[in-house]
C-alpha cells in the first residue's frame, strides 16, 4: 500500500463512520453530504438517486417506531470489518459489515457495498447497496 493509499484509507474509514452516525441521528444534511452529488442509495425495495433525493429521504419520518413506554426509539449502527480496494487514484470499493443495536439489543446485521470517489477533495459515496443478513424476531423493524 502506498503512503497516499494509507491516507486515503483512513479518510474513507472516517467518512464511513461519519455517515453511520449521521444516519442514526437522522441528520439529513450531514448524511446526504456523505454522498456524491449524483450518488445512489440502492435499498432493497427502492433506489434513491442524487444527493438532494437522499437528503429528502432522510428528512422523512423515521421508520423506527418509539417503544410502547414512550421513550425515544433508536438504532445504532456499529461498523466492524471493512475492506477497501482502490480501483483508481480517486476511486475505491468497500465492503463493510455492520451490527445494529436498538431497544431490543442486537437488532439486525449485514454489510454495505460502497463505491466511493473523491469529489471536491473529499471522499464521497458514489453508490451504496446495503444488504441485511439477519433480523432479530424482536427487531424494531417488525413493529409499527
pTM of the full predicted structure? Answer: 0.91
Measured distance CA(110)–CA(133) in Å, rounded = 5
Q: What is the DSSP string of 60-108?
A: SPPSSPPPTTSPPP-EEEEEEEEEEEEEETTEEEEEEEEEEEETTEEEE
Band of residue 62 on the pLDDT scale cut at 50, 70, 90: confident
Q: Is the pLDDT of residue 70 over 90?
A: no
- pLDDT tens for each residue of 110-136: 999 999 999 999 999 999 999 999 999
Q: The domain at 3-135 falls in which architecture?
A: Roll (3.10)
CB atoms within 10 A of CB 134: 11
Give me the residue label for grid cell 422523512: 60
Give me the residue label for grid cell 429521504: 57
Mean pLDDT of the chain: 93
pLDDT at 74: 84
Band of residue 85 on the pLDDT scale cut at 50, 70, 90: very high
Q: Is the pLDDT of residue 2 over 70?
A: yes
Band of residue 141 on the pLDDT scale cut at 50, 70, 90: confident
C-alpha distances (whole Å) from 94 to each of 33, 73, 84 are: 18, 29, 4
pLDDT at 61: 81
Q: Is the pLDDT of residue 5 over 60?
A: yes
Q: Which SS3 state, helix, strand or coil, does residue 124 take?
A: strand
> What number is the average pLDDT over the span 29-58?
97
Task: Tell the burial category of 36 from Cβ atoms under 10 Å away from its Cβ (0-12, 13-18, 19+).
Answer: buried
Amino acid at each position: 500500500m502506498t503512503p497516499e493509499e494509507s491516507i486515503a484509507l483512513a479518510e474513507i474509514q472516517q467518512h464511513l463512520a461519519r455517515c453511520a452516525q449521521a444516519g442514526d441521528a437522522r441528520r439529513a444534511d450531514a448524511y446526504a453530504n456523505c454522498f456524491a452529488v449524483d450518488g445512489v442509495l440502492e435499498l432493497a425495495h427502492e433506489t434513491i438517486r442524487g444527493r438532494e433525493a437522499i437528503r429528502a429521504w432522510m428528512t422523512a419520518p423515521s421508520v423506527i417506531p418509539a417503544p410502547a413506554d414512550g421513550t425515544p426509539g433508536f438504532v445504532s449502527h456499529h461498523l466492524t470489518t471493512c475492506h477497501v480496494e482502490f480501483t483508481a487514484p480517486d476511486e475505491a470499493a468497500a465492503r463493510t459489515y455492520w451490527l445494529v443495536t436498538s431497544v431490543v439489543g442486537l437488532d439486525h446485521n449485514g454489510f454495505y457495498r460502497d463505491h466511493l470517489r473523491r469529489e471536491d477533495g473529499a471522499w464521497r459515496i458514489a453508490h451504496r447497496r446495503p444488504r441485511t443478513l439477519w433480523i432479530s424476531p424482536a427487531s424494531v423493524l417488525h413493529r409499527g
